[in-house]
Amino acid sequence: MEGNGYSTDGIEVLEFDESVKRWLDMYFGTGRGSPDLATRVLSGVLAHALHPAARLAAAHTLRATAEVTGDLSFVVTDDQADALAGSGSVRLGYNGSLLGPVRWISAAAAAVSSRTVVEVWRDGRGLCQELAGLHPIAEPRDIHPPTGVGTRVSFELNNAYFGPGQVIAANLASLDLHGPDCVDPAGPGHVTVIDMRGREEPIVIPYR
């Protein structure tokens, strides 16, 4: 019997970050050259805070804050610490980073960032790691942690993926953080966006 001609010769296996950079629209809903790309990266990370991976938390239960610090930079903090187990063990993710599959959209945002800093803390222990793209510059290092439990990720988006004028939108009051398929019941979770760009008083926008 003759074979069916199937071959794996043309199959290319990409690392997660390379997949993100090749198919931006698959991860962020729009591609390179779109004026909305930076805003879509931000809203994707925030939408995931309200609809996290099931292993991280139930939908609409995380409490998160996003500080927009520049036209291509923002910081997101939430009240989970998945990379640091209660036993004190560290759960490394993509490329040995503190961003694992349960935070895949944050990892995707890191892939198109020139610099990302991940901080995680729990039970009096804190870790910090700096990334270039999605690749760690060094192993996680100990830091003096805030109280409680949490994760903070600071993103500086890479100019190579965002052309002139392709910045985070000036008006962040109408981000779609649920989408048409959200059927989960309301919960205690929320995202507070604080736009700190060039203003004496920041603009605070709550989302639930």
pLDDT at 198: 83
Sign of CA dihedral 32, 33, 35, 38: positive
Q: Note the pLDDT tens digit of each residue in 31-79.
A: 999 999 999 999 999 999 999 999 899 999 999 999 999 999 999 999 9
Lowest-confidence region among 44-48, 119-123, 132-136, 196-200: 196-200
**Does 131 have pLDDT greater than 50?**
yes
Give the C-alpha separation, 75 to 174, whole Å: 19
Number of domains in the chain: 1
CA dist 22 → 48, 157, 161, 167, 183 (Å):
21, 16, 11, 20, 31
Q: Provide the pLDDT confidence category of residue 1 given band limits of 50, 70 and 90.
A: very low
Q: What is the CATH number of the domain that holds 98?
A: 3.30.565.10
Distance of CA 121 to the CA centre of its chain: 17
Classify residue 97 by burial, with Cβ atoms within 10 Å: 0-12, 13-18, 19+.
Answer: buried
Asked if residue 181 is part of any domain, the answer here is no
Asked if residue 8 is part of any domain, the answer here is no
**Taking the model in full, what pTM does it have?**
0.92
Asked if residue 10 is part of any domain, the answer here is no
Query: Domain range holding 57?
Result: 16-166+188-207
**Does 9 have pLDDT greater than 80?**
no
Task: Report percent pLDDT > 90 for the chain.
Answer: 86
CA dist 110 → 116, 169, 171, 186, 199 (Å):
6, 19, 23, 29, 27
Asked if residue 104 is part of any domain, the answer here is yes
| Cβ-contact 91, 151 below 8 angstroms | no
- The rounded mean pLDDT for the chain is 93
Cβ neighbours for 29, distance < 8 A, ≥ 6 positions apart: 40, 44
